[in-house]
Chain A
Amino acid sequence: AQSVSQHNHHVILSEAASLELGCNYSYGGTVNLFWYVQYPGQHLQLLLKYFSGDPLVKGIKGFEAEFIKSKFSFNLRKPSVQWSDTAEYFCAVSPSGGSYIPTFGRGTSLIVHP
């Protein structure tokens, strides 16, 4: 079974700072990768996903993530955060194929100070 590790549980930044949230997974086969975001009081929503092609994936609101297969990583980045990026971020990994269940990391709480 696969597992997902998000190393940063809590991150506090000032506006305009750069962001990188770590996500590492363990699984020996082909995977699809996701980042979800949960804004305060809102439902989880898909931020971006990777399942093939260019390992640098761009998502909504200026976020991007890079899949580095050799490092089993899928880190989320944003060059300049805004106060509105305050949220909880979840990385998820799913072996390729419809019958596999995605595994979620425990989440990273990001607080951006104005």
Chain B
Amino acid sequence: KAGVTQTPRYLIKTRGQQVTLSCSPISGHRSVSWYQQTPGQGLQFLFEYFSETQRNKGNFPGRFSGRQFSNSRSEMNVSTLELGDSALYLCASSLGADRSIYGYTFGSGTRLTVV
């Protein structure tokens, strides 16, 4: 079966712009989580959606937002980009509501560079 698909793979944006990243989870997975990965901070949790509802939110400013559609696909949006937003953004899907048992399946990520 197809894995978690993230588009685009690479993005270069200018400070102040906004960006939308997309994630298609594995078929049947209803939980989608987003992480920011940087060399210095590791994986930082952004938010999680389950059945179109935001179930958890990490400690990121309001410029970071997301949503999930009825087909479980998810998007995250970052407005007013800052240089510090440059990172690899990972989407992870999980089977069922209890992701603590199933674990995550990760996508390859979107590499965002802000210049």
Asked if A and B bind, the verdict is yes
Kindly state the separation between the CA atoms of A49 and B101 in the bound complex, as whole angstroms: 8
Tell me the B residues contacting A by CB distance below 8 Å: 3-4, 33, 35, 41-43, 45, 48, 55-56, 58, 90, 92, 96-101, 103-109
Decide if A46 touches B99 in the complex (CB within 8 Å).
Answer: no
Across-interface contacts of B48 in A (CB, < 8 A): 101
The reply to whether A44 and B100 contact each other, CB–CB distance below 8 Å, is no
B109, closest chain A residue (CB): A43
Tell me, rounded to whole Å, the shortest Cβ–Cβ distance linking B112 to chain A: 16
- Give the contacting residue for A106; candidates B42, B96, B97; CB below 8 A: B42
Question: Is there an interface contact between A98 and B106, defined as CB atoms closer than 8 Å?
Answer: no
Task: Kindly identify which residue among B92, B98, B106 contacts A97, using a CB–CB cutoff of 8 Å.
Answer: B98
Closest 7 CB pairs of A and B: A98-B98, A106-B42, A44-B106, A94-B100, A104-B43, A98-B97, A43-B108
CB distance from B15 to the nearest CB of A (A): 27
